[in-house]
Amino acid sequence: AGGTATARAFPNIALVKYWGKRDEAVMLPAAGSLSLTLDAYATTTAVTLDASAASDRFELNGEAQAGDRLRRVTRFLDLVRERSGSTARALVRSHNEAPTGAGLASSASGFAALATAASAAYGLPGDPASLSRLARRGSGSAARSIIPGVSVWHAGDGDETSFAEPVPAPEMRMVIVTVDERQKAISSREAMRLTALTSPFYPAWVASTEQSLEAMLEACRDGDFTRIGRITESHALRMHAVIQSADPPVRYLAPTSIAVFDAVSALRDRGVEAYATADAGPNVCVVVRPAEAEAVADELRGFGRVRVVGPGAGAELIDADPR
Ligand code: DP6
């Protein structure tokens, strides 16, 4: 037989965010970013080549997918086929452990797992840099889910140089506060396009992200948790500010999200080092020192479901029988 592989990957939460592309065709970001790959909410994906099939098939949590979701997988596999010289279609079966719509059922773990499994099944290189470049083509943030723990995704100046790699950093945990499980109103992809096209603040956002990333890399190198936290929170608020300044405006944070940011600020006033961030949705992730994670989680339980997560593994092949 041959031509089959299974891989697992975890989502990541950015401390310096990716919001905007320099090149959408090749998926180059406007600036670099830095994130923590988590140890929860894995996506496991099996890719099986089927030389006699006329089209790809994609099952998510046991349900056959059609429309945009299937098209996105097919477009990604077209790139893999072009590079491998194979014309075989594939059956892709994905299982996502995140509650659907919780904002954590991310495209990052999905495309990191798909890139890893598809590369093995079609016989493409399986080193982290190659997988990160490839995963990026499916979803930008997936470039970082290839890498364990803290990683930096270099903006790069073309396809070859735009990939993620590990960054040594101090131990930390994240308290994830799920304030709303509904699907977001507008996708990251669409909203970042709108922001770049219409926000008068967009150029300043890109420039400030470059500065935040420099400062964050320095803070990681120094093992300076306080500085990491401060940059994380102010950078997240800047991202939501630039998103709100689009035309028409987009607002992802809900009143409860803001209440969590306020509660985190009140914790700091009491000497607990906690710093909040949020992606393109209302759920809030709070960066804490490991020793304080459970206490902070207890403080935030009133705002929604809470879960303490830590640094997780990079994308991994679970089994493979290449073509
Ligand atoms: C707010 O990676 O989902 O989570 O590249 O268009 O697929 P596409 O977007 P995506 O955007 C992630 C946006 C973010 C910030 C981040 O993860 O850095």
ipTM of the complex: 0.99
Per-residue pLDDT, averaged over 123-133, amounts to: 98
pLDDT confidence bin for 99, thresholds 50/70/90: confident
Tell me how far the alpha carbon of residue 56 lies from the centroid of ligand 1, in angstroms: 25
Per-residue pLDDT, averaged over 27-45, amounts to: 97
Per-residue pLDDT, averaged over 62-66, amounts to: 96
Indicate if ligand 1 lies below 6 Å from the C-beta of 14: yes
For residue 321, the model assigns a pLDDT of 86
For residue 185, the model assigns a pLDDT of 78
Tell me how far the alpha carbon of residue 1 lies from the centroid of ligand 1, in angstroms: 37
Indicate if ligand 1 lies below 6 Å from the C-beta of 280: yes
Q: Which atom of ligand 1 approaches the CA of 187 most closely?
A: 3
Ligand 1 binding pocket mutation candidate from 10, 36, 188 (most atoms within 8 A of CB): 188
Per-residue pLDDT, averaged over 49-67, amounts to: 96
- Predicted structure pTM score: 0.97
Tell me how far the alpha carbon of residue 271 lies from the centroid of ligand 1, in angstroms: 32
Tell me how far the alpha carbon of residue 270 lies from the centroid of ligand 1, in angstroms: 33
pLDDT at 102 over 60: no
pLDDT confidence bin for 256, thresholds 50/70/90: very high
pLDDT at 182 over 90: no
Ligand 1 binding pocket mutation candidate from 10, 13, 18 (most atoms within 8 A of CB): 18
pLDDT at 260 over 70: yes
Indicate if ligand 1 lies below 6 Å from the C-beta of 21: no
State percent of the chain over pLDDT 70. Answer: 97
Per-residue pLDDT, averaged over 258-287, amounts to: 97
Indicate if ligand 1 lies below 6 Å from the C-beta of 18: yes
Per-residue pLDDT, averaged over 49-63, amounts to: 96
For residue 139, the model assigns a pLDDT of 97
Indicate if ligand 1 lies below 6 Å from the C-beta of 288: no
Q: Is the dihedral of CA 234, 235, 236, 242 positive or negative?
A: positive
Question: Distance (Å, rounded) from C-alpha 106 to C-alpha 197?
Answer: 25
pLDDT at 2 over 70: no
For residue 183, the model assigns a pLDDT of 65
Mean pLDDT, the chain, whole residue set: 95
- pLDDT digit string, tens, across residues 205-245: 999 999 999 999 999 999 999 999 999 999 999 999 999 99
